[in-house]
Every structure is written in C-alpha cells, then in structure tokens.
Chains A and B, each alone.
Chain A
C-alpha cells in the first residue's frame, strides 16, 4: 500500500461499487451456486426415495423418507461390497496422497535449496510432466505392469498415484520463497542433519503448500477413474468410482441396481466434503502462494 497520508479516505479502501453492480455480481454468483448445487440436491432427494416413488414423484422434493432403509439395502447388496470400495478409495487416495506429498515436498525442497549440476534440467523435466495427462499414461502403464504381473493388484493403482509433478513444482516455488537459507544454515550450525532439518524446520514452513499438494493429489486420485478401469478386474479392489460405474452400466438390464448407484453416489461424495472442510483454510493459502510467486 502507498504510504502517502490520506486522511479523507473512508475506512473501506476498495473502489465504490454501484448497487446495480453488486446486485449483478450477486445474481451471477447465485445462478452459479444453484447450477452447482441442484444436481447434488437432486441426488440427495433421489437417494431418500423408495424405488417405486423415484419416478412418480417430484424429482426435487421429498416423498416418503427412506434414506436409512436405502443405505441399509446398499450395505447388504452383493455382500456389502460398496463399503469395501469406499474403503479402497480412502486407501488409494489417502495413502497415495500422503506419500505423494512427502515425495513432492522433499523433491521440491531439494530443487529449491540445493545447488547441483542438472538442477534446472530435472526441474524442467518434472514441469514437462505436468503437461502429460495421467489418462494418457494409463495404457502404457498397463502394458508395463503386465510385464511384472502387477496388474489387478492394489499396487497397480497406488504406485502410479505416488508421483505428482505439480506437487514438486508447487513445493519448489513455495520452499524457495518461504524457507530462508539463513534458517537452514542455523539448523546446520546447531548440528542438525539435512533430513532432520527438513522434517523439523522446513516442513513446518512449507505446511500450507504441502496441504495444497495433498488435497490436489487426494482429489485427483479419488476421481481417477481411467487407471483403475484399465488395471483392475477384481471387484474387491475397485475404488468407489469404478464400482459405481460398473453398476451403472448394468442399469438397463437390472433396473434394481439404479437405487444402489444413486445412494452410493451420494455417500461417495461425503469423504471429499469432509476433507475439504477440514483443510480448506490451508488450501486457500497454498493456492494463493502458488499463483502469485
């Protein structure tokens, strides 16, 4: 901000907006909010309905409330395989994102704080990785994993999820800006090894960026559908996205499954919502940091 004295300025320093502009902004935001929320509302309503009422009642308002009954049926259908899927998803996304964050954090930190030949080259190669969509790699990965008899295993989905080029990029940018060299120097003088310095000093300073990387990775693994589709055949290994998709593909011939797909879809967004609510504070700071620097 400028340091010129400006005594006559009112408290709020933003430009003044006309009422019209504000209303316009509100309307646009309202429309978008509705646009995003209505499908979820529809899903929620549909999930509370009995199968016979699903088609015959207003799709956007409640009929008899049978949400709990539906959940109970979902839990017993096909030996409760749905909750197995949910657990798998949490495993793939939670475990994968955690390890991916650790690797990306260490890698980005090293690229930011150590000088060694080929540093820029490595960084540029990693940056190139951001541009390659994960879906494009799924089929080559399948053929490679086939050589090692690793397809249709937990590892076939987890291992490819452990790398996050974007995470490396963000961690490097953030580390070079927020971890002062003097601090690392001080830690070294006090006798801390490099690993200890990283975990006790740098990680704390880089925390917002690491949370952002974690969230990004969590969401992208959770939503990654193509890789499991290609890799997995064993129903007990499916993540929830693939499982619901498989069910949904049978709806034409086995209409009963439709109810399970709906209630399953509703339940499957809950973990994502929880993760976001818990971590959104960090998420915002991290995003800002990534965009400005």
Chain B
C-alpha cells in the first residue's frame, strides 16, 4: 500500500516536471495561414461528448473530402487536458479538441492553440454566437479567435413550485428575498438550497452574475482578484446563510445530495441549463413539481445571469489542415442538424444564437410541469456578462479554494478566508509557471 502511494506521488511529480517543461515550448514560426489543403484530408477530433460519433457520421457522409475521426477519453480535468499537453509536447496532438472555457487560457498561455482568425469565415461568424461566449474564445483580442464556442451553461433558479405555493412563500427575485425565503423554509424543516462546497464552478458562476471576475489579463500581465468587490460580497452572503444554518452543505453530486432533492429537503438550485437533466435524473420522485425562474438579483429590477460550464472546439498548433478543421468546427457548433443531435445525445445547451431556437429547446418539459424552461435560459444567456475571465491555472484554483470551502462549511474558517488563501496560492502557482502576474 505504501509502495502504491509512493508510486502515484512519483508519477505525479514526473507529470508535473514534464508539464513544467512544456510551458517554455517555443512559439513556432508565425501561425499557419490557414490555407485550404488540396485533396482529401483526414482530421482527428478528441472529445468526451457521448453520442458524438453519430454527429460526426453525418458530417463524414456529407463531406467525403474532409473525413473526421473521433477520439475519446475521460472529461477534460479527468485526464484529457493532460493528454493534450503531452501530445502537444510529443508533436502528435489531434487536429481538433474539446476544451472547456475555463481551461482555454491554460492552453493559450502554453501556446497550444491555433489562431483561427485567418481561416475563412471564422471572424465573420462572431455574430452567430451569443456575445459573451465569443469573449471566452478570443480573450478580448478583437482580431483573434482561438476556438469555436460549443455550448454554454447560463444559470437560472430551479425551484419546487409546489412547496413554495403550499407554504405561501413568494418566489425570491432578489438575493435579499432569497434569504428571507430561506428563513421561512427553514421553519418548515427544509433548506432553501445546498451550498456546494466542492464545486467551485458554481460559486464562480455566482460571482460572474454579481459582476465580478477573478482574473484579468492586460495583454502581458495577469492579475488575480478573488477577494474584493463582487467576489467577497458573494462569499459574505453565503457565509451568512451557512452560519445561520439556512443552507445545507452536502457534497454535490452524491447520493445524499440527490436524495435531498428527491425528498423535498432542498427547495431550490441556482444552476446551469444542463442542470435540468441532473435534477430530473437525481430526483425522479419530484417529477412535475419543479419550475425555473430567473436567478435572484443583487439589485431589484436588474437582469444579470451567471454562467456555469460550457466548452469550445479548439484547433491545436501543429494541425496540418486548419482550414478544414475550422470548417468542421463551424458546422459542428452552428448547424441546426449538429446542434440538435448534440442537445439530444449530450444534453448540450448551444452557444450559437440559432441553436437557442431549436424546436427541442422551445417545447415544454414535463418534469417541470410543462413549462418551456429553456425560454428562461435563453433570456439568461443574453444577460451573462462578457467580462468574466478565467485564469491559466483553474484546476489548481478549484482544488485550493474547494479545500478552504470544505473547512468553511464545517465551521473552521470562512469562505472569504478560503478565497484569500486561494488568491495567494494562485499567484504562487502562476509565478511557479513563469506566467507574468501583477500583485
């Protein structure tokens, strides 16, 4: 057993050491011009979306000269990102890869992404995508594009319509009302929601909604700001709910957590569009009793939404056929045909504007009492701030902050302490990777 632990530690060290080397990988001579290749080409595309083979089969049938071969693996943080970095170092990266928005800066900093601005039709398609998703893939550089947006996770509030009605509690529209409702709900024995201690993504989405941004990049330097303004306000708000026992703190995505929703102990969940399926599957006994409303606002009358999750299709440096790859990526993420299949097979909520009008996203959903819930998410999608920036070391940020959050919910320390510690360790991590950071 000791031996085994040692083995893992050594392996991680080795990985870290090699990953360290790859940060200094030299920039290859100017980006390829993205000129079309002649003759038939074969592209490789690594993604972990279920059912992607069927979507690609449709493309392959229509495009005999651009054949796409699907490669797969675990989700990004489960190993596929590390594989991408290894492959970039070994020079055999796939042509295309799925990368979540929060991991894109990491690949950009390590110079793994091809600039698609030179590829025909890519820059012009800016207006085909929801504004803020474009900001996620060009990092605010107007004439550059480093990936094609694929899906998004605009946030709204899932709530138990029946319980609110039976107990005569109004549906909260502001976070102040949300706390008032939490007090009422606590009297009935339930909790208004569960504070997700391990899933920092959700918290980041709440900060996003409040107008904060943990990172900024002025072109050369990164700055980290997790402890002021919106971020600390949101932390203080939830700390208050935790201190007063108004929210439960079950680890998310566990049986216990599902059970809390299934038995009516948890009444609401401020979550992303794809979360609709999580509830339907985790709380089957509550079918028909849920509804969706706009997230509570910080200021009454405002309309701001956060975002949780979402990914893009990137083309890696070293691809020999960027023009064809870009063409495929555009088809995959803007054509109704592909978006419909991705929505059905992988439960994706599109980043393309036209995708928000798909028939499947217009219909009422039985689990939510027949409500056309995606109308709410469509509205939310338009309200997501385009200014939120992810940092280049998000895996580390998530790990460090979630450690702090876990102790905060057990009563030692606060969420703000966790963010402070997270900020310090993030700056240290950036420095360790020789990424310029302002303090």
A residues contacting B by CB (< 8 A) are: 51-52, 55-56, 59, 78, 133-136, 138-140, 142-143, 146-147, 149, 151-152, 226, 229-230, 232-235, 242, 245-246, 248-257
Cross-chain contact B78 with A151 (CB below 8 angstroms): no
CB-based closest 4 A-B pairs: A133-B7, A255-B281, A233-B71, A146-B90
CB-defined interface of B74-102 with A at 8 Å, one 1/0 digit per residue?
11001100010011011110100000000
Given that A135-B7, A246-B73, A250-B50 are contacting pairs, would A230 and B83 also be in contact in the complex, using a CB cutoff of 8 Å? Answer: yes
* B237-245, B251-259, B320-328, B388-396: which lies at the interface: B251-259
Whether a CB of chain A sits under 8 angstroms from the CB of B282 is yes
Name the A residues within 8 Å of B90 (CB-CB). 142-143, 146-147, 151
Least Cβ distance of A278 to chain B in Å? 25
Least Cβ distance of B107 to chain A in Å? 17
Given that A230-B83, A249-B48 are contacting pairs, would A138 and B262 also be in contact in the complex, using a CB cutoff of 8 Å? Answer: no
Given that A133-B6, A146-B91 are contacting pairs, would A55 and B72 also be in contact in the complex, using a CB cutoff of 8 Å? Answer: no
Least Cβ distance of B2 to chain A in Å? 12
Q: Which chain B residue shows the least CB distance to A251?
A: B253
Interface size on B, residues (CB 8 A): 43
Not counting A55-B255, A59-B255, A229-B79, a sample of 14 additional A-B residue pairs whose C-beta atoms are within 8 angstroms of each other reads A56-B262, A56-B284, A133-B7, A135-B11, A139-B11, A139-B86, A146-B87, A229-B83, A233-B72, A234-B72, A246-B78, A248-B74, A253-B278, A255-B282
Least Cβ distance of B211 to chain A in Å? 27
Can you list 8 A-B contacts with CB-CB less than 8 angstroms, sorted by A residue number?
Answer: A142-B90, A143-B18, A151-B90, A233-B46, A249-B75, A250-B48, A250-B50, A251-B253
Name the A residues within 8 Å of B83 (CB-CB). 229-230, 233
Cross-chain contact B78 with A257 (CB below 8 angstroms): no
Task: Select one of B8, B10, B50, B92 contacting A257, CB under 8 A.
Answer: B50
Q: Which chain A residue shows the least CB distance to B279?
A: A255
Name the B residues within 8 Å of A232 (CB-CB). 73
Q: Which chain A residue shows the least CB distance to B272?
A: A253
Q: Which chain B residue shows the least CB distance to A225?
A: B79
Given that A152-B71, A233-B46, A233-B94 are contacting pairs, would A252 and B278 also be in contact in the complex, using a CB cutoff of 8 Å? Answer: yes
CB-defined interface of B337-352 with A at 8 Å, one 1/0 digit per residue?
0000000001100000
Name the B residues within 8 Å of A142 (CB-CB). 86, 90
Task: Select one of B70, B74, B346 contacting A245, CB under 8 A.
Answer: B74
Cross-chain contact A253 with B14 (CB below 8 angstroms): no
Cross-chain contact A246 with B74 (CB below 8 angstroms): yes
Least Cβ distance of A32 to chain B in Å? 14
CB-defined interface of B256-293 with A at 8 Å, one 1/0 digit per residue?
00110010000000000010011001101100000000
Least Cβ distance of B71 to chain A in Å? 4
Name the A residues within 8 Å of B10 (CB-CB). 133, 135-136
Cross-chain contact B14 with A139 (CB below 8 angstroms): yes
Name the A residues within 8 Å of B284 (CB-CB). 51-52, 55-56
Q: Which chain B residue shows the least CB distance to A147?
A: B90
Cross-chain contact A254 with B50 (CB below 8 angstroms): yes
Cross-chain contact B253 with A252 (CB below 8 angstroms): yes
Cα separation A226 to B83 with both chains bound (whole Å): 11
Cross-chain contact B14 with A136 (CB below 8 angstroms): yes
Name the B residues within 8 Å of A235 (CB-CB). 70-72
Cross-chain contact A230 with B86 (CB below 8 angstroms): yes
Cα separation A251 to B257 with both chains bound (whole Å): 14
Whether a CB of chain A sits under 8 angstroms from the CB of B25 is no
Given that A55-B282, A253-B277 are contacting pairs, would A146 and B92 also be in contact in the complex, using a CB cutoff of 8 Å? Answer: yes
Question: Which of A52, A133, A140 has most chain B Cβ within 10 Å?
Answer: A133
Q: Which chain B residue shows the least CB distance to A233?
A: B71
Name the A residues within 8 Å of B71 (CB-CB). 152, 233-235
Name the B residues within 8 Å of A138 (CB-CB). 11
Cross-chain contact A151 with B92 (CB below 8 angstroms): yes
Whether a CB of chain A sits under 8 angstroms from the CB of B15 is yes
Name the B residues within 8 Å of A234 (CB-CB). 71-72
Least Cβ distance of A293 to chain B in Å? 21
Cross-chain contact A55 with B346 (CB below 8 angstroms): no
Least Cβ distance of B30 to chain A in Å? 25
Name the A residues within 8 Å of B281 (CB-CB). 51, 255-256
Name the A residues within 8 Å of B78 (CB-CB). 245-246, 249
Given that A78-B50, A233-B46, A250-B48 are contacting pairs, would A139 and B15 also be in contact in the complex, using a CB cutoff of 8 Å? Answer: yes
Name the A residues within 8 Å of B18 (CB-CB). 139, 143
Q: Which chain A residue shows the least CB distance to B282?
A: A255
Least Cβ distance of B205 to chain A in Å? 14
Least Cβ distance of A56 to chain B in Å? 6
Q: Which chain A residue shows the least CB distance to B345?
A: A254
Given that A56-B285, A255-B281 are contacting pairs, would A249 and B15 also be in contact in the complex, using a CB cutoff of 8 Å? Answer: no
